[in-house]
Structure 1
Amino acid sequence: MSATDGPQPQFVQNVTAVSGFAYGAIGADIHVFGDGSPVYLLQNWQPAVPADPAWLRELPSRMLNSRFEVVPFTGRETELSELRAWRDGGPRLAARWIHAPGGQGKTRLAARFADETRDGGWQVVTAVHGPGSVQPPPGSQDLTLDGHGGVLLVVDYADRWPLTHLTWLFSNALLHQDPPARILLLARTADAWPAVRASLANHRATASSRALDAPPDGPAMYRAARDAFAVRYGFPAGSVPGSAPPYELTLALHMAALVVVDAQVHGRRAPTDLAGLTVYLLDREHLHWATLHARGDAGATPPAAMNKVVFAAALAGAADRPHGVEVVRALRLGTPVDRVLDDHAHCYPPEPDGGDTVLEPLYPDRLAEDFLALTLPGHQADYPAMEWAEEVIDALLGRHASRGITFLAAAAQRWPHVGPDHLYPILAAAPGLALAAGSAALSALAALEDVPIRLLAAVEERFPVGRHVELDAGMAAVTRRLVTELLALDDSPVARAVGCQHLSTRLLNAGLDAEALEVARRGVTAARELDDDVPVLAAALGRLGDCLAHNGRPAEALRATEEAAALAQPLAEAERARHEPLYAGILAGLAVRLAEAGRHQDALEVGERAATAWRQLSAADPAHEPRLADALHAHGRQLSHQGLQAESVVVSREALSLRLSLAEQDAAGHEPGLAASLLTLSAQLAREGRRAEALACSQQAVESMRALARADPTAHDAGLAHALQALGADLAEAGQLMEGIDTTAESIAVWRRLARDNPAAHSAELSKSLSNLALLRLFADPPTQALPAAAEAVQLMQLRHAEAPELHRADLGRCLSILAVCLNTAGLRQERHGVAAGAVRQYEAAWKADPVRYAFDLARVLDQMGRYLADDERWADALGALEGGLALAEAYIHVDPTTYAPLISGLRTALDDCRRRIRQPWWRRRGQRPRG
């Protein structure tokens, strides 16, 4: 991109495709995959261009394509007014998710709003998903915002985008400039909205959603459509009789209006039901193919072959020409491939500026779904099914699983033969296709009412044992449906216990913590009904402990896990080969629960036993290596908490090495653990003063967690917030103060959203991040900005402390200590004393419970208190605080000489000054001379 000295446009960009695809954007980012293909395409909004009525009449379905806007915008004034208010008010960046079934009028509403917004001086841009999209010819899009009042980004089919790709889109520079930015997302359902909303929160965008209901005035909409179609056929508006049918779907009203006009023109009787309307329009497609072939306009491709190609296009979607050639070759038509593609494009031309794109599918999507269903054998409609349809699906579905399964599942919701006769047998023969189709397709499959249990079980058998970033949400949906169906058949205690434990694990992996806890409780209740199955009860209690911990209930989590360990220990001692994995897993969980309860010495001992057990098990079977890595990771953290830094680094490096090896084999399954190990090692390196290495580890951890949170924010946002929290501190220590402040503020934004939904689980971490931010802002300009964050941190931690004092004494002490520093910096000298004294009290209580761990912190806040007292010339009080701090620090210097030495030196200097002042006469201590 190069600037020019001439008039507008301000920038010139020359884009040339030597081979492959070329695309440029001025004023925006371009995100591409490793092969250079675009993740998405941004294009300037193009208003609808009127189409030739004669061309439209050739295929009546063309008039239903929203891009031609044959029917004028009618109704929806309330929704349009809401969009205007959303655009013109509120913060700089906002997003809105509009969802409704296919054919309800989402695209038409968005088009009307986009036209208005463009006419009002805004830049309006559309985003099209890159993979399989209609790609424009080589060139560039001028998306600069100079002279525009704002930017509106329209994203159709947003629910079909992978969340990672939407997150990349949200980070585009186009949306993060000075003018207001609005993102309008259109989707069929709101299923994906919570995860998308979480991703938007990371960009500090306000987010809202709106279900698009049935049109408020169906008869008026029908009349407007009927008159518009009549004009295209050369009749005056109002000349075609007929009353509006009782349909609630906008597309159904338009179809009925189109068919009644076309039927009158051709002297036919218009059908009165939706299936009949669909068949009527598809019959017109067949007639068009036959007419073209008969007169030779596009006559090289026989109608039967064209039928097959149109079916393939509906299944696979538009493609570039080389890919289109492969699709047509797979059909084995016996007709030259290039001629087939050209003939198909004659009937179904690509989008404007679509370049050399081929195999444009039928529009609207709902008509394409119905065409797939009616072409497949098994229905009772008056429409010819084709025996070759299954062969085409077999040939194409593997490469086009995402679109193909999505469209077939949508068709199965309306056509009862599609699932049992076609989709389910295909997936039963190749269950892996469901996984290849992605998380959204798994959820769609689980939502079908007649999906067989055996099929779900076959799909579930292909699931990875542990987590999978891209599939966790879909796997949870399938497992939920499968367990529900199985328990309806067998409600015995053992079935409920095992099923609930399995389901709660999947739900926990997907970040659905509250639901996981409810299911885990049901599992324990069922397991207690079993008199002689101790292993099932132990496993259920262990899972309940995990779920309680994720829901911010550490005391209950510890009790459940301790009970699980008490049950599992004699089992492992009596029959080690069978029960040692169960016991080792519970021990690992118990170590974490003990640490969360502040019992760090107990956690260290239990964690060492768990690591030893898993090391022995993995030596015999490498399949246990992931559990060994988890146990080593937790044990390394406990060693660090007990001041055993050298040992902790050795153990944590071993865990990291294992996880690196595991992630190379299965990144999606082991990336979360790898990021956690990087964060732990970063903290340990920072304590050793190895700042550069610590920063590199935390930066890599944040990069990993960002990718995970993009794929599934519900499951990984807490991990991202932890990583950002650590990176902020490391950046500041490395001298990058402002970057550290920004990163810490980002972690706070994530914690705020999580704490809003589940304060018990996340408000303590929010408090810690706020204290971190306050500490960093003390070194920025002006330092007084630190005080609000420090005060909020104390308020939040006091709430947690009131609920569980033994867990949050030290945390509250730290928050109070930082608040005292902020008050002192702000010149609020009186207020600082009470706050500093509160910090001393909290750390004294923590020290009594765990002397080694908290001796340094108590000595530090005694030093802080003593200095504040000395500032106010309260020398005797200051002397007591400083002497207490020095005695404590000298008693524990052997724990970590490097850390304690500077504190001891400072305490001695302050004490010497304090003692000297006490020995002086009062008038000299105050810097005065006696009178007379």
Structure 2
Amino acid sequence: MRVNVPGSRNALHLGSGTQNVQFVYQWKPAYRIEDLPTGRLPLGEERALGQPSRLLRAAHQVVPFTGRHADLAQLADWRDMDRKAAVRLVSGPGGQGKTRLATHFADLTRAEGWTVWQAVTNASGSTGEANGAATIGTGLLLVVDYAERWPKSHLEELLTEVLTRPDDVPVRVLLLSRPVGVWWESLETWITDRLDDRTASPTAVDARGLPPLAEVPDEREALFGQARDCFARHLELADEEAALVEAPADIAADDDYAQILTIHMTALASVAAQQRGDRAPANPAEASAFLLKRERAQWVELRRSPEALVSSTPEVMGRAVLVATLTHHQVRDPHGWDALHRARLADRDFDANTILDDHLKCYPSLVGQVLEPLYPDRFAEDFLGLTTPASHDSSHPVPGAVVDDWAHLAVRRLVLGRSGTDTPAPWTQHTLTVLTETARRWPHVATGQLYPLLREHPELALHATSATLVTLSELETLDLAVLEKIEPLLPDRDTNLDLGIAAIVERLARHRLATTDDPLVHARDHHHQARRFHNAGLLDKAVEAGRKSLEAWRELAAGDPAYEPEYARALANLANHLSAAGERDQARGFAEQAVSLYRRLAKESAPDHEADLATALSNLASHLSDLGEREKAAARVAEALAIRRRLAEADPDVPDPGLALCLVNHGNFLSDLGRRDEALTATEEAVDIHRRLADVNHAAHDPDLAGSLNNLGSCLSDAGRLRDALAITEEAVTVKRRLAEANPVMYRSDLALSLSNLGNRLSDIGRLADALEAEQEATDIRELLARENPAAFGAELAHSQSNLGLRLSDMGKRRAAVTVTERAVTTYRELHANYQAVFAPDLARALANYGCQLTDVGRPEEALTAGEESVAIYRELAAANEAAYELELAKTLTNLSIHLSELDRPEDALSATEEAVRILRPPTEANETAHGPSLARALNNLGLRLLALGRRDDALSAAEDAARIHRRLADSDPAAHEPDLATSLINLGNSLSALGRHEDALVAGRQATEIQCRLATHNPDAHTVDLALMLNNLGALLAETGRWKEALTATKDAVGIRSHLAKEDAPAHGPDLATSLTNIGNWLSKLGRWEEVLAVTGEAVDIQRRPAKASSAVDPADLALTLSNLGFLPSEMGQ
């Protein structure tokens, strides 16, 4: 298996002992894939006796696997299901037994003939030798532990490598993690976004929580006994001594023992205590304390050994271990040194190196790294809880715990530096995560460390992850004064923290609302919650809080008109929340109420409320547009824009975000009404303002910048500036991808919109494979969103499916195109039934695409039905708004003429395409770059229709006009227009041939074929089908000039391509193959090669008979003609 990394000169590196390649990222291997070890990893007796905690590591399998029958059965069903690729996440708290379950399942899977690998991060940058190519068994299982700790890009590269294997071997990826939060939701979205177009079938993705093994209290004592006996053997405790070790008296009653790791830690500590004649621990905390006591004893022994293996005192070693717990592993220079300097453990780098080296001897780390923490993570958190002293007015939760007063200030020193005001250290995020997780089970760490630190330095919370802020807000012992200190510092919008911010605001609001009946407090707190929920993408919560806020403001405004502005704002905000949640009708009603109230307030006190009125008008315009009332929407936003411009004149040098958003909306509505030049001007002005705002504050204004960039790309495309449109749309995708990675719940939908537009822009310039990839990603995101909320995202999914059908068709994937576009048509029909004005354009567009794709797969009657319906809808739309829809009507008429021609209705076909040409000529004369492609395509069709009716001179005139337009366009942008130029040239050749100008026809045919050969060489998936058509036509043109051998060569090339295509999709490509074979028979007959004529003509008949029995893909007249030719052959051969 190979990995190709664009732009890398050395993308492959094989590691020693691995079966697979490592992906190279920034010149360092990011991970390695290797055999998952079978059996247990040996552990030296001396090491086990010195540090018993090592016996807890899952790799050593000291305690045999037990139970989990239902979990194993579920995993076996998942492994054996009828899917090519599947990913499952198994999650649970630390100590739940995830790694042991995965290892045992891997052994069972290996016994079924599967190959089992593991993937591990390889941050050390080490290199090695490969053992050779991997051999895959019945299937492939890949296990990834600590999946949540992988960098997202590395995990994506790993999954891409494994899940897109070209063979038919089933692949299963088992991910293990503690949390199931935003990281998993983001990864799940990425899997469904990226892989469907690369695999034979969609990847199955799901997540399962792992229940506690010791959930049944009566089973815990037996589990304790099993672990005790195993640990006793490894610690060389005699059987009779081990039998004296009893389970804690409350093991069945204390839910702390529900986790298997807690039972194992207690059993290990009890065995070690029996061995040394000490008292057995009475609870889980004492068990951790005892094991840590053994760690300290090992430090002493290493220092006192004859070799003096370490020079650091046990006190210094313990402090180094605590630093490692709080910072996680770091590179030595500079972060390892800096950590020890900050912690007051070393003043010089020389002294820091001594401590780091001693720590490495006790806790080996990856090459190039230091400060390896204790494992399991639960044990490291207990070390922090046990070592940190309680406050002076309280006692430590574990009597007799060996605490270190130095630890009291360790956290503060590590994250703040010597002065206490330095920039937070690079490990601050990890330190806050460890503190918060430890605070769950060690309240004195919360009250003595975490809470005081954040009260005095609440700005540190902004350096935490969103997940850590959520955990913080959920702590039972939380001092709400901590959150009250943090709340004023929370940014208005921050894509990295919005989820955590919402959790903090919700916790504070819950407390305040429970302690007062004051309607003003309720109104404000519900308002703040609704806004934060909306920013975080929690739309249902936003609507609920918005309704409660509205009711409170209504009550206040009824008693005191001074509250009317707040009541109006609550109306507008609730409308926005409802709209985002897909409740369009309700949103409009509340938005209209807000405008009415603000209009009255503005009349009474204009300077104070004009800006609010403008915002309300702009919002109402959006809601009206969502319901298809575009004329009304345009009027409302024009009124809002006039107000915004008047207000902005007061300080023209300061960018006004309200004016920018109003300009974006204005541009959208102008575009909807067909006023495209005005739309472009407005949108360019909006982008300029948003750029200036984002330069000052990216977190606050990037979302609006990305939205205006997205719209500008569409406006530039409408103006025919295809390259500019692509560059702007790519920028929009870059910004929105960054936003979606930080908060997928909030920004996935926006990312999908930009990706869909990117697919259109890429298609416009001929990058068809890239266009398909972008649209596939957009569709996959929207499929996930629509499953979660069909009302809000069903229309967006249909939009992507319609576009995806186009992209698949462009790449020659005809049947797949029909399937996906059919889904879009079905969805739009349902939406159109309820919101006719809104979704009529979308339904018409999807039907137009559907008709073309049905023609491609030989279903002409259905194609005509779809095309006629599309034209009827566009006629109705154009009658109401000619500027907006007449161009779309013309394009659909061009398609309709093709459908009519396929069913042998030449006069009707000509009428349709003549109407299309009449519509398209005036706008093309005004802007050939924007509208020339559509006119040239219509002219091509006009030429074909005229030729079919014997009007050869008129047909040539139309074909020449089409070729001239396409040649001018291709001269300025070859990638975008050369495919259409090739089509125009082949049609021109046919028209010239019909007039007997065979040599001129051949010149045009050769030019067309040369262009198509170049295109197919660069992008075979997109252009091979058309290349076969060009070669077939070229063969016919060569034959007309008597060049039989050249004709035979060209047509054989066409047969070679069409044979391959027919193997993949016989109904779609078999008829074309039969046509080329028949032509070869004709050319061979001219050369007197009758035996070959018989063979190829017979093959053509076989192909034509097969689909003729099952569908109308082959014209019966073609079959009859071929049979007639076959009938003449015996006499020609003298038989």
TM class by shorter-chain length?
0.7 to 0.9
Shift of the 12–511 alpha-carbon distance from structure 1 to 2, 3 Å rule, reads closer
CA deviation map 1:743-798 (0-9, x unaligned): 32332222222111111222222222222233344444364543223322211101
Map of 2:428 onto structure 1: 401
| Cα distance in 2 between the residues matched to 1:144 and 1:557 | 63
Asked whether 1:317 is paired with 2:347, we answer no
Counterpart of 1:463 (choices 458, 467, 490) is 490
* Closer/same/farther in 2, CA of residues 906 and 545 from structure 1, 3 Å limit: farther
| Distance in 2 (alpha carbons) for counterparts of 1:860 and 1:494 | 57
Task: Determine if the alignment matches structure 1 residue 308 to structure 2 residue 319.
Answer: yes
Letter in 1 for 2:795: A
Give how far 1:590 is off. Answer: 2.0
Q: Of 1, 22, 25, which residue of structure 2 is paired with 1:31?
A: 25
Give the corresponding residue for 2:523: 497
Identity, % of aligned positions: 32
CA gap of 1:243–1:522, structure 2 versus 1, over 3 A, is: same
What secondary structure is seen at the aligned counterpart in 2 of 1:417?
helix
CA contact (8 A) 1:523 1:540 kept: yes
Write out per-residue CA displacement over residues 328-375 of structure 1, whole angstroms, 9 at most, x where no aligned residue: 22233469323222322233233xxx2243222222211221221222
What is the CA–CA distance in structure 2 between the aligned matches of 1:287 and 1:584, rounded to whole Å? 73
Does residue 1:158 correspond to 2:135, yes or no?
no
CA shift in 2, pair 1:869/1:407, >3 Å = closer
- Using the alignment, how far apart are the partners of 2:803 and 2:275 within structure 1? 74
Cα 1:25–1:358, aligned 2, differ >3 Å: closer, same or farther? farther
- Matched residue SS, 2:208: strand
How far did 1:719 drift?
A: 1.7
- Please give the residue correspondences for 1:229-244 in structure 2 after superposition, counting only pairs within 5 Å: 229-236=231-238, 240-241=242-243, 242-244=245-247
CA distance 1:572–1:421, shift in 2 (3 Å): farther
Q: What secondary structure, in the 3-state scheme, does the structure 1 residue paired with 2:119 have? A: strand
Deviates more, 1:651-660 or 1:149-158: 149-158
The reply to whether residue 61 of structure 1 matches residue 60 of structure 2 is: no
Name the SS of the counterpart of 1:74 in structure 2: coil
Aligned equivalent of 1:199:
190
Partner of 1:275: 285
Provide the C-alpha distance between the structure 2 equivalents of 1:171 and 1:639, rounded to a whole number of angstroms.
Answer: 44
Instruction: Give the TM-score taking structure 2 as reference length.
Output: 0.72
Per the alignment, in what secondary structure is the counterpart of residue 431 of structure 2? helix
Deviations 1:621-670 (CA, angstroms, capped at 9, x unpaired) = 97763333322222222222222222222222222233333334443443
Are the equivalent residues in 2 in contact too, given 1:439–1:474 (CA < 8 A)? yes
**Cα distance, 1:88 vs structure 2:** 4.5
The question of 1:697 aligning with 2:720 is answered no
**Partner residue, 2:686:** 655
Report the residue type matching 2:25 in the other structure.
H
1:327 corresponds to: 339
Which amino acid counterpart does residue 213 of structure 2 have in structure 1?
P
SS in 1 for 2:379: helix
Q: Distance in 1 between matches of 2:820 and 2:117?
A: 38
Could you tell me whether the CA contact under 8 Å between 1:122 and 1:152 is conserved in 2?
yes
Residues 647 and 38 of structure 1, relative CA distance in 2, 3 Å threshold: farther
| 1:270 Cα deviation after fit | 0.6
1:171 is displaced (CA, Å) by 5.6
- In the alignment, the residues of structure 1 paired with residue 880 and residue 131 of structure 2 have an alpha-carbon distance, to the nearest angstrom, of 62
Question: Could you say what secondary structure the match of 2:194 adopts?
Answer: coil
How many angstroms does 1:588 deviate by? 2.6
Q: What letter corresponds to residue 855 of structure 1 in structure 2?
A: E
Cα deviation, residue 853, structure 1: 1.9
1:256-271 matches, cutoff 5 A: 256-271=266-281
Q: How far has the Cα of 1:849 moved from its partner?
A: 4.5
Give 1 or 2: higher helix fraction.
2
Q: Among residues 448, 463, 484, which one is paired with 2:475 in the alignment?
A: 448
What is aligned with 2:454? 427
Mapped partners of 2:552, 2:186: distance in 1: 32
Quote the residue 1:224 is aligned against. 226
| 2:95 aligned with 1:103 | yes
User: For 1:98 and 1:893, how far apart are their aligned partners in 2?
Assistant: 59
The answer to whether residue 85 in structure 2 is matched with residue 93 in structure 1 is yes
Aligned to 1:598: 628
Q: Which moved more, 1:449-458 or 1:885-894?
A: 885-894
Match of 1:554 in 2: 584
Give the counterpart letter for 2:283 in structure 1.
Answer: D
Pair 45,581 (structure 1): closer, same or farther in 2 beyond 3 Å:
farther
Partner of 2:398: 381
Residue 520 of structure 1 and its aligned partner are, at CA, apart by 1.9
Is residue 513–residue 522 contact of structure 2 (8 Å, CA) maintained in 1?
yes
Q: Where does residue 178 of structure 2 map in the other structure? A: 188
Is 1:646 the counterpart of 2:677? The answer is yes
Residues 262 and 890 from structure 1, CA distance in 2 versus in 1: closer, same or farther, beyond 3 angstroms? closer
- Which residue identity lines up with residue 602 of structure 2 in the other structure? A
SS at match of 1:530: helix
Is the CA contact 2:18–2:32 (under 8 Å) kept in the aligned structure 1? no
CA contact (8 A) 1:867 1:910 kept: no
1:215 aligns with 2:213: yes
Q: Distance in 2 between matches of 1:63 and 1:767?
A: 55
Distance 1:40 1:303 in 2: 35
Q: Normalized against structure 1, the TM-score is what?
A: 0.86
Q: How large is the Cα RMSD of the aligned pairs?
A: 3.7
Asked whether the 8 Å contact 1:751–1:765 carries over to 2, the reply is yes
Provide closer, same or farther for how the CA distance between residues 390 and 43 of structure 1 changes in structure 2, counting only shifts above 3 A: farther
- 1:437 corresponds in structure 2 to 464
The one-letter code of the counterpart of 1:462 is: L
Amino acid at match of 2:508: L
The 1:176–1:12 alpha-carbon spacing in structure 2 relative to 1, beyond 3 Å, is: closer
Q: Distance in 2 between matches of 1:395 and 1:159?
A: 28
Quickly say closer, same or farther: Cα 1:387–1:570, change in 2 above 3 A.
farther
Report if the CA contact (8 A) 1:118-1:124 is conserved.
no
The structure 2 residue matched to 1:792, chosen from 823, 837, 848, is 823
In structure 1, stretches of 5+ residues that fail to align are 4-10, 17-22, 918-932
- 2:382 corresponds to 1:370: yes
Q: What CA deviation, in whole Å up to 9, does each residue of 1:121-145 have, x standing for no partner? A: 62523233x8xxxx43631475986
Letter in 1 for 2:478: V
CA, structure 1 residues 856+474, in 2 after alignment: closer, same or farther (shift >3 Å)? same
Distance 2:925 2:639 in 1: 26
Moved more, 395-404 or 23-32: 23-32
The verdict on how the C-alpha distance between 1:144 and 1:506 changes in structure 2, with shifts beyond 3 A counting, is: farther
Partner Cα separation in structure 2 for residue 96 and residue 2 of structure 1: 24
8 Å contact from structure 2 (residues 15, 22) kept in 1: no
**Secondary structure, aligned partner of 1:183:** strand
Q: Distance in 1 between matches of 2:235 and 2:406?
A: 36
1:15 CA displacement: 10
Distance between the aligned counterparts of 2:94 and 2:242, measured in 1? 27
Structure 1 residues 461 and 431: alpha-carbon distance in aligned structure 2, compared to 1, 3 A threshold: same
* Amino acid across the alignment from 1:593: H
1:60-107 Cα deviation digits (max 9, x unpaired): 222223343332333334433433443444433322211112111122
Match of 1:518 in 2: 544
Residue 847 of structure 1 deviates from its aligned partner by 3.7
In structure 1, what is the Cα distance between the partners aligned to 2:899 and 2:160? 49
SS at match of 2:173: strand
Cα drift, residue 436 of structure 1: 0.7
Aligned CA distance change for structure 1 residues 817 and 480 (closer, same or farther; 3 Å): same
Aligned residues: 892
* Unmatched tracts of structure 2, length 5 or more: 4-10, 196-202, 391-395, 416-423, 952-1135
**Deviation of residue 231 (structure 1)?**
0.9
Larger radius of gyration: 2
Quick one: structure 1 residues 257 and 402, their matched pair in 2 at CA, closer, same or farther if it must change by over 3 Å? same
Q: Distance in 1 between matches of 2:87 and 2:905?
A: 57
Give the distance between the partners of 2:192 and 2:589, measured in 1 at CA.
Answer: 35
1:67 and 1:387 map into 2 onto residues whose CA distance is 35
In structure 2, the partner of 1:124 is: 117
Aligned to 1:793, what secondary structure does the other structure show?
A: helix
Matches of 1:678 and 1:145 in 2, distance apart?
A: 47
